[in-house]
Structure 1
Amino acid sequence: MSSIAVSDDLRTRPLLWLLGLGTFAIGIDAFVVAGVLGEIARDLATPVAGTGQLVTIFALSYAVLAPISAWGLAGWSRRSILLTAMVVFVAANVLSTLAPSFEALALSRILAALGAASYTPQAVAAVSELVSPVRKGRALSIVYGGMTVATALGVPFGTWIGQTLGWRATFAAVVVLGLLTLLGLAILLPSLAPPGSHRLRDRLSAITKPQVLTTLSITFLAALSEHTAYSYISVILDGTRFDDLPVLPIALGFFGIGAVIGNVAAGFGTDRFGNRAVIVFAVTVQSLALLALVFVQGVPLAACLALFVWGVAGWMYLVPIQHRLLDLSKSYGAFSVSLNSSVLYLGIGGGGALGGAFISYFEPNQLGFLCFAIGVLALANALLAFRGAKENVE
């Protein structure tokens, strides 16, 4: 089956929501560890600093495994890939739940990253077969909505579960979400055409095209810019209070609400105005919001507003970038999307490292200047990516 009629909305929309449920589970799994580090460290008798490397292990494993998986599974149907990926993801989280040692938990995180790296790019690429081009942006926003909701609601809730019932309960909750996704997809997902088998060299040739390479660089720089600050947001807002209440949890709530709004707006905006306009708008606004944080971080209401705007813009650039990559590389769409997932996670990991190096020499409240400079580079690449653009990369 090469496509599903847009009029068959009763069949298509549940599939999109199921794909989004899978990315929701993956989003919680990727980021919730940071919220239960103390519990894991105490239970497994490991230093907190060392336990924190579980996040890095997952991110780097995802970055490496996403393109390898897309290449290795190119001959499989997307249905088989998605179901197998979710089986691996669920099994990995069962192992995480039962892990008797830090080493076992670290290995389970690598396996979880393999399942996640195999699932997300194929879920995104499947959108092209499930909906018509005029609805692609909105469909992508539903699939990516899982990651957004995980950031806004799932991670805090998963952290609460871990702190209330123990960290193993958090991974058990992810298992349940994964099983629900697996069951739903097994029932409803049709036999979509395989991505297509090509030599690795042929697939990598797509990134030699300037438009593809510059588009991938937008993802990396935009993610690097925001995660340089987000990784240390608790330090940046330390001491800022609403009377007796610390502003951090309230500000993160504003960020999460903005993220949900931004994700929805990205889908409609991409379909209405095109991916170029949304990418340029999102990167520009995010950069300005991060710069503004330097000046308003000590003012509670203004800091919350800055994080809200940042949340909106920070979750607007992913959908149009994926949309553009699928347009640019019709033959190697899933592989290009997998590379985009890789550079996204490299940007997330790199942001933490760069921010840590920066605050070794400068005050944390000055991180916004660095983030703005990186954002300007991302904006320059966004403008460059569309210079003389063609619809496809052959």
Structure 2
Amino acid sequence: MSAIALTDDARSRPLLWVLGLGTFAIGIDAFVVAGVLGEIARDLTTPIAGTGQLVTIFAVSYALLAPISAWALAGWSRRSVLLLAMTVFVAANVLSTLAPSFEVLALSRILAALGAASYTPQAVAAVSELVSPERKGRALSVVYGGMTVATALGVPFGTWIGQTLGWRATFATVVVLGLLTLLGMVILLPALAAPGSHRLSDRLSAITKPQVLTTLSITFLAALSEHTAYSYISVILDGTGFADLPILPVALAFFGVGAVVGNFAAGFGTDRFGNRPVILFAVATQSVALLALAFLQSNPLAACLVLLVWGIAGWMYLVPIQHRLLDLSKTYGAFTVSLNSSVLYLGIGGGGALGGAFVSIFPPDQLGLLGFAIGLLALANALLAFRGKKEKGE
């Protein structure tokens, strides 16, 4: 199927927003559990620590299942995979809504991760077939924008629903969003061909290219750098506030606004300048923001501004990295993007673990220094990845 330019096909733009609605639902589902842990623990009579493992179950399942599902479903058309993935995701959240016990809820989180891990890489890969190359960055930012908006607005809204109407209402909301996505895809999604051979050896040869491996490592190190500090942001900002009011909600709002701005700026920047300068700018700026956090976290206004910049940079590197991986891996874009999703979640989880080890020895307000040091490694790795001749799109 030939590429469809956004300006030439009136159906392409609504379809991108439908795909973005799917990632919005997935973003809420992945992160909102943390906001309703207390309600779940009380209703299912489970310890809060055990209930908290629901977040880990989803993240680990996503990281493991993303490449497996991309390989197993490689012979299917993208349309079929996207419809199946969202159907599984919706069914899993119906099970979450009705779960009578913690064990059933945990199982539903694994199934939801399977649907999410199958959907997101295929939605990203489909962009290459739905838009012209010069608009790919902006199209990717729309699809990823769902996840960004979920972080900034959807998760707080889902938490409010859970605390007002009960935690089951939160998952029911995700079901509605998933059903709307399914309906939109049934109406708008064209018959996209299968990506090609699904032999594992073919896919491994595609992802073992040095440029692909170094690009994947940028994702891992950038996420590790970010989440060593972000996982403990409530502790870092503890005691900082305006007139004895805690700063955390305001600071997170600044971060969320920055995330939305950064995501869409990344799309325009990648189309205008190529993926290489946007990745370097994002990784370098995030590192500087983490360094500033270590010294300015006690100043309320400065801390909010740091989180604004951090949000912009922290959500600016994903779009150009996906853009680069799609260009490098060609036919096997969905598989490579699925691996990128895996290393992203490994970086998030690793950041939390590394940050926890750090604060057991050093003051938590110095976590920004650790994030900065890892950020320098990410920047060095990015410079290494971009050695040599500049390719088209970079």
* TM-score computed with the length of structure 2 as normaliser: 0.98
Q: Aligned with 1:76: secondary structure?
A: coil
Matches within 5 A, 1:237-316: 237-316=237-316
Q: C-alpha distance in 2, partners of 1:311/1:32? A: 18
Deviations 1:276-333 (A, max 9, x none): 0000000000011011111111100000000000000001000000000001011211
Give the SS at the match of 1:329.
helix
C-alpha distance in 1 between matches for 2:160 and 2:287: 31
Is the 2:255–2:308 Cα contact (8 Å) retained in structure 1?
yes
Q: What is the CA distance between 1:4 and its match in structure 2?
A: 2.0
Matched, 1:205 2:205: yes
- The residue type equivalent to 2:114 in the other structure is L
Following TM superposition, by how much is the alpha carbon of 1:390 offset from its aligned partner in structure 2, in angstroms?
Answer: 6.9
Q: Distance in 2 between matches of 1:138 and 1:339?
A: 22
CA contact (8 A) 1:74 1:197 kept: yes
Q: Paired residue for 1:331?
A: 331
Aligned to 1:155: 155
Q: Deviations over 1:9-54 (max 9, x none)?
A: 4211000000000000000000011111111111111111111111
Q: CA deviation at 1:90?
A: 0.2
Change (3 A) 1:385 1:335: same
- Residues 169-188 of structure 1 show CA distances to partners (whole Å, capped at 9, x for unaligned) of 11000000000000010011
User: Alpha-carbon deviation of 1:206?
Assistant: 2.2
Q: Which runs of 5+ in 2 are unaligned?
A: none
In 2, Cα distance between equivalents of 1:202 and 1:259: 36
Q: Is the 8 A contact 2:31 2:155 kept in 1?
A: yes
Could you say which residue in structure 2 is the equivalent of 1:33?
A: 33
Match of 1:219 in 2: 219
In 2, the alpha carbon distance for the partners of 1:136 and 1:116 equals 22
Return closer, same or farther for 1:390/1:69 CA change in 2, 3 Å cut-off: farther
Task: Determine if the alignment matches structure 1 residue 60 to structure 2 residue 60.
Answer: yes
- CA offset at residue 223 of structure 1? 0.7
- The 5-angstrom pairing of residues 1-394 of structure 1 reads 1-388=1-388, 391=391
What is the alpha-carbon distance in structure 2 between the residues aligned to residue 64 and residue 2 of structure 1? 32
* Letter in structure 2 aligned against 1:360: S
CA apart distance, 1:193: 1.1
CA distance in 1, matches of 2:6, 2:286: 33
Task: Give the CA deviation at 1:3.
Answer: 2.6
CA contact (8 A) 1:23 1:144 kept: yes
Contact 1:95–1:108, Cα closer than 8 Å, also in 2? yes
Provide structure 1 residue ranges, at least 5 long, that are not aligned to the other structure: none
1:107-139 CA deviation, whole Å, 9 max, x = no partner?
100000000000000000000000000000000
Q: CA RMSD in A?
A: 1.1
Superposed displacement of residue 201, structure 1: 2.1
Q: 1:142 Cα deviation (Å)?
A: 0.3
Using the TM superposition, give the Cα deviation of residue 391 of structure 1 relative to its aligned residue in structure 2, in angstroms: 4.5
Per-residue CA deviation, residues 198-252 of structure 1 (Å, 9 max, x unaligned), is: 2112202223211100100000111111111111111110111111321000000
For 2:198, give the aligned amino acid: H
Distance in 2 between the 1:303 and 1:238 partners?
12
**Aligned partners of 2:108, 2:348: CA distance in 1, in Å?**
20
Counterpart AA for 1:119: Y
1:57 Cα deviation after fit: 0.6
Post-superposition shift, 1:166? Answer: 0.9
Say if 2:6 and 2:13, in contact at 8 Å, map to a contact too. no
Shift of 1:6: 4.1
Q: How far 1:350 sits from its partner (Å)?
A: 1.2
Q: Output the amino acid matched with 1:172.
A: A
- Given the two structures, how large is their TM-score scaled by the length of structure 1? 0.98
Q: How many residues are aligned here?
A: 392
Structure 1 residue 386 displacement after superposition: 1.0
SS in 2 for 1:81: helix
Change (3 A) 1:168 1:252: same
In structure 2, how many angstroms separate the alpha carbons of the residues matched to 1:295 and 1:275?
31
Against the structure 1 CA distance between its residues 389 and 351, is the aligned structure 2 distance closer, same or farther, given a 3 Å change threshold?
Answer: farther
Tell me the SS of whatever aligns to 1:238: coil
Contact 1:327 1:391 in 2 (8 A): no
d(CA) in 1 for partners of 2:148, 2:46 = 31
2:389 and 2:323 mapped to 1: Cα distance? Answer: 14
After superposition, give the CA deviation of every residue in 1:119-169 in whole Å (9 maximum; x if it has no partner): 000000000000000000000000000000000000011111111111111
Aligned residues of 2:257 and 2:308 also touching (Cα < 8 A) = yes
| Maintained 8 Å contact 1:220/1:347 | yes
Rounded to whole Å, the distance in 2 between the matches of 1:370 and 1:346 is 17
Query: Matched residues in 1 for 2:23 and 2:298: separation?
Result: 35
Over 3 Å counting, the alpha-carbon distance change for 1:13 and 1:6 in structure 2 is closer
2:75 alignment partner, SS class = coil
Q: Whole-Å Cα distance in 2 between the matches of residues 36 and 356 of structure 1?
A: 22
In terms of mean alpha carbon deviation, does 58-67 or 202-211 score higher? 202-211
Alpha-carbon distance change, 384 to 170 in structure 1, aligned in 2, over 3 angstroms? same
- Among all aligned residue pairs of Structure 1 and Structure 2, give the percentage whose two residues are the same amino acid: 86
Kept after mapping to 1: 8 A contact 2:65/2:117: yes
What is the alpha-carbon distance in structure 2 between the residues aligned to residue 73 and residue 278 of structure 1?
32
